[in-house]
Amino acid sequence: VSIASAELKHQQLVRDLDAQHRRSIEEARTTLEERLADLNGTHEQRVKDTEEASKARTAVARQRHQQHTNELEAKHAQHVKELEESCSARIAGAEKIREEVVQKLEAKHQEHIGGIEDAWKVKTADSERTHEQIVIELEQKHDQSVKQIEEASRARLATAENAHRQVVTELMDQHEQ
């Protein structure tokens, strides 16, 4: 009787423990599912918040970039305009200097021609020389004067052109910087 009773008690105890174990597992499963749902909801909200914050930062960065780009383009346009104005002014100055040099050279040329004519009058009055000698000497002097004027004109023109090139080079260097 006592073994049978103990066996029955043992079987009852095993069933009770099994039922209790199943209830504990079910309660733990329910608790875990609730926690998992909470964590999923929290994670989804964080992802959503992070995406919204990222979009907002991206929008602000794009706006700043566009503003900076606009400012740089405006500064560049202003710089180009100033360089063009400066270049035009310097070119006009160089051209004015070249014109003045040409006028001075032409005046000197006329002056030399007048001097040659005066010399020719004096020479023709000189009876010691023949007319042909006077003409030859005057032509040589004239040719020499023309050569000197041409050389002086070329030198001054070259100086003006060098100054002009230097101005253009400086302006181009400034523009590139």
141 to 45, 88, 105, 113, 133: CA distances (angstroms): 103, 41, 17, 10, 12
Residue type at position 172: M
Question: SS3 sequence, 14-83?
Answer: HHHHHHHHHHHHHHHHHHHHHHHHHHHHHHHHHHHHHHHHHHHHHHHHHHHHHHHHHHHHHHHHHHHHHH
Instruction: For the chain, 177 residues long, give each residue's pLDDT as a single digit of tens.
Output: 688 888 999 999 999 999 999 999 999 999 999 999 999 889 999 999 999 999 999 999 999 999 999 999 999 999 999 988 888 888 888 889 889 988 998 888 888 888 888 876 776 666 665 777 777 888 888 888 888 888 888 888 888 889 888 888 888 888 777
